[in-house]
Structure 1
């Protein structure tokens, strides 16, 4: 679709905005808007909670239009707290959260809401600025805006209110704001639909991936072999020539060790040291990425920390990371922190098969429940599986390696498509809200004809 430009432009006076159409204003936000903050009523007083007033916090900011929240206040809760009622049509903005490292979440409230202290409502004079236009402008200039308004050096990322009030943004006449907002609503909806298609494909690929692994490690590759009852609850029938064994008979489990802060963050020592957040940074082959943190062999001996060999299978044993069920492998000898556990397979050439086998474990079902889920060695070591002979393990491993490679390639293609679509979405929004393109004559019928 070819979109025209405006006839003339002028310097906005703001370096990161560049030029804007000559007839557009570039006001400061404080000249057009008022700001409403929020607060949290006492959690010790149940009469303040579970009422009818939506109480919006950063965790609720998952869509552009917002009318409800996970938690609600009573009228009394609103009255006795620092929270205020925000009428429909304000721009809600997260002003304190780790997400501000890369995104400023914004939404327009469709119903009256209250806010917690990590939120801010920006209320515009209706005859000067449309909330949907400003929302799109924030989306189009996320990175520049983060650099302009976020407080530097804070423990938790936050937007400095004084900086936000002083922000200048391009403002066309009200009819143009409406045309731009309507154009972007239509175009972003098309892009979002394409993104959702790719996400559904990724979800289907993940389901198929797990199903292929499950069938291979529980039924084998030959559908004609005789079957027998495994005698293990939930496992069902398995090939008759397979042997049921507990994990503890296939290798040994060891927990990570506690390392004082002064022993962490060192570089250049002999042993890698992995903390639980490393589980989210593995390569496509399942091996942990190289760690910048290292410790010496002497330190490991002094602290009686187990040194896990290459190809050990490692995973979380406490905290929210446990529920994710991530199983990774070590490429080099390493120590783990005390939130992790590792499994050293007895037969060195079987670790890849055992990792596929362990991927069937539902860590969320076997973990000790509570505010902080946990797992001890006996809970996982006593799990029973049906095990084929070494030759069959190797055949299954090669088959799964090939299947997973194809699945991961398709997933990577879908993820790349999502990235391109999101980049196009951001570029389109940025161009429209700064006047780099003129969308005034582009109604739905005109767009379809183009």
Structure 2
């Protein structure tokens, strides 16, 4: 076996070449009808319109744009380190940071797309870039040209590419099915929690509230502004000196739906700063809710720990003396999320202010019923979380085995002409 840096061992019968002898850089002019082609980090190279139209930076003047043709090997010089390398399925145009290549007589570019993308995902491209210029991850044409690559016989390259096209397509279908299952699970869990929080699953005597967000509630329940039953305490204070350890400071990005996890905190303060920051009102207690007003807007976490911590900017504390806080945390995370999201439409700064929070309509069953309902919602949530963890594990295993299959195939670790791939991926 022969060893190549960034690839590993390959059969001794395979020669090696620098990439510049295997592919030619293309610099085509563009046509007026060409649409933008994008190289995505999942290895797909396609028309931008095939994925989505929003979220991209649009060039006012397409200076330096070049023509891309179906079958080109396309490398995104800035995102290539993260996997934005693949074969274009479309004709179009791309910005100057994207490079297009056609093969020489020695190369099937599908094989080299799999191979070079693996080198990027295993960190080799990043290591080369950092060796040239500090903190750079640019995968430019000169760097690609100098990569030392194996050169299996052309017929073998085609067999490997055909095999991987079929097997990765099969695995991708399984991945899509698991993602769909996860989406349906979340939808079902949230629907069940909403039914419990609004009483529509249990009670028959329902009245119309007049609210577009929570239109129906059982008789005896009320739809009240949050401020009628709960107290919201905002956190406004000076910026302290943050430390690597000490008393945790909860920021908006640290808050995830459910119960508060202090291990997510990435900023800490000293004992003296904690005393200055956390006066009696701003000191969350067990049974309170911490609520994100920025970043992950509208996310509530129930505090079920007596451990000390304080709140950073744009985090507030929600408390009550006679209402069930766990019940409210589910309502905030699930039931009123549609209303919160509607308030952000058209806004360039995703943030909810205190006045808006205080005005949110909250379903209020009699206090004597809230704890029982909250425990039922908690049970539904735990079941959903357990199933999500199992699906997440399946997604991880499929993704890992997909990568292992590609690595084994492109480095000649097995004969693809007699393999199905199923022994590697199942």
TM range (shorter): 0.7 to 0.9
User: In structure 1, which of residues 326, 330, 343 is the aligned counterpart of residue 299 of structure 2?
Assistant: 326
Residue 316 of structure 1 pairs with residue 292 of structure 2: yes
The 3 A distance-change label for structure 1 pair 257 and 295 is farther
Distance 1:233 1:55, change over 3 A: closer
Equivalent residue for 2:411, pick from 434, 438, 449: 434
Question: What residue is the counterpart of 2:11 in the other structure?
Answer: 21
In structure 1, the residue matched to 2:76 is 94
Q: Does 1:236 align with 2:226?
A: no
Distance in structure 1 (CA, Å) of the matches to 2:167 and 2:43: 16
Structure 1 residues 143-292: aligned runs within 5 Å: 143-151=122-130, 157-159=137-139, 162-219=142-199, 222-224=202-204, 226-257=205-236, 260=239, 263-269=240-246, 271-279=247-255, 282=256, 285-292=259-266
Task: Evaluate the alpha carbon distance shift between residue 348 and residue 104 of structure 1 in structure 2; reply closer, same or farther with a 3 A threshold.
Answer: farther
- Residue deviations 1:254-302 (CA, integer Å, cap 9, x gap): 3444754xx3541343x421333323xx497453434241124643666
Residue matched to 1:380:
357
Q: Cα gap change, 1:154/1:218 in structure 2, threshold over 3 Å: closer, same or farther?
A: farther
Q: Structure 1 residues 244 and 156, CA, compared in 2 at 3 Å: closer, same or farther?
A: farther
Structure 1 contact 57–118 (Cα < 8 Å) conserved: no
Cα deviation for residue 368 of structure 1 reads 6.7
1:350–1:393: 8 Å Cα contact kept in structure 2? yes
**Residues in 1 aligned to 2:302 and 2:2: alpha-carbon distance in whole angstroms:** 55
Instruction: Give the gaps of 5 or more residues in structure 1.
Output: 1-9, 39-47
Of residues 110, 113, 127, the one that matches 2:105 is 127
1:422 lines up with 2:399 in the alignment? yes
Q: What aligned pairs does 1:41-60 form with structure 2 within 5 A after superposition? A: 52-57=33-38, 60=40
C-alpha deviation, 1:422, in angstroms? 1.1
**Conserved in 1, the CA contact under 8 Å of 2:37 and 2:45?**
no
Secondary structure of 2:165's counterpart equals helix
Distance 2:179 2:118 in 1: 22
CA distance in 1, matches of 2:142, 2:257: 42
Q: In structure 2, what is the Cα distance between the partners aligned to 1:140 and 1:373? A: 37
Is 1:109 aligned to residue 91 of structure 2? no
CA RMSD across the alignment:
3.6
Question: How far 1:23 sits from its partner (Å)?
Answer: 2.4
Deviating more after overlay: 232-241 vs 160-169: 160-169
Q: Which residue of 1 aligns with 2:347?
A: 370
The one of 341, 345, 357 equivalent to 2:319 is: 345
- Aligned to 1:318, the other structure's residue is in SS state coil
Please state if 1:136 is matched with 2:117: no
How has the CA–CA distance of structure 1 residues 252 and 284 changed in structure 2, closer, same or farther, with 3 Å as cutoff? closer
- Does the CA contact (< 8 Å) of 1:55 and 1:73 recur in 2? no
1:67-119 CA-to-partner distances (Å, cap 9, x unmatched) read 44449999x955xx12222333222223325x94xx32222113333323543
Query: How far 1:181 sits from its partner (Å)?
Result: 0.6
Matches of 1:215 and 1:283, distance apart in 2: 18
Quote the Cα distance in structure 1 between the aligned partners of 2:26 and 2:129: 18
Contact 2:110–2:161 (CA under 8 A) maintained in structure 1: yes
Show the counterpart of 1:82: 64
Contact 2:69 2:90 in 1 (8 A): yes
Secondary structure of the corresponding residue to residue 65 of structure 2: coil
Is contact 1:133–1:177 with CA below 8 Å preserved after alignment? yes
CA separation in 2, counterparts of 1:105 and 1:190? 21
